[in-house]
Amino acid sequence: MHDERQETRHAAPRGVLGGIRIADFSRVLAGPYATMMLADFGADVVKVEPPAGDDTRHWTPPVDATGQATYFGGVNRNKRSVALDLTDAAGLAEARRLAASADVVIENFRPGVMARFGLAYDDVRARNPGVVYCSITGFGAGRGAALAGYDLLVQAVGGLMSITGAPDGEPAKAGVALVDVLTGQNALAGILLALRERDRTGLGQLVEVDLLGSLLSALTNQAASTLATGTPPQRLGNAHPSIAPYAVFKAEDRELVIAVGNDKQFRALAGVLGLAGPGLADDPRFATNASRVAHRAELTAIIEERLAAASAAHWIDELAAASVPAGLVNDVAEAIAFAEALGLEPIAETRRTAGDAASDDGEHVSRSIANPIHLAATPAEYRTPPPALDEHAGADWHPRPAVE
For the beta sheet containing 246-250, the strands, ordered from the edge strand earlier in sequence to the opposite edge, are 246-250, 255-259, 326-328
Give dist(CA 187, CA 226) in Å, integer: 26
- d(Cα 258, Cα 400) in Å, to the nearest integer? 57
Q: Is 173 exposed, middle or buried (0-12, 13-18, 19+ CB in 10 A)?
A: middle
Q: C-alpha distances in angstroms, 186 versus 37, 132, 189?
A: 12, 14, 5
Contact (Cβ atoms closer than 8 angstroms) between residue 213 and residue 268: no
Partner residues linked to 105 by β-bridges: 23, 133
Cis omega (within 30 of 0) on the bond before 387? Answer: no
Q: Quick one: which of 153, 145, 169, 144 has its CA closest to 215?
A: 153
Any catalytic annotation for residue 180? Answer: yes
Determine the distance from the C-alpha atom of residue 41 to the mean position of all C-alpha atoms in its chain, rounded to a whole number: 16
d(C-alpha 133, C-alpha 142), whole Å = 18
- Of 40, 180, 283, 331, which one is the catalytic site residue? 180
Relative to beta strand 255-259, strand 326-328 is antiparallel
Give the type of residue at 69: A
Judge contact between 352 and 358, C-beta under 8 A: yes
Burial class (CB in 10 A: 0-12, 13-18, 19+), 249: buried
Where in the sequence numbering do the catalytic residues fall? 180
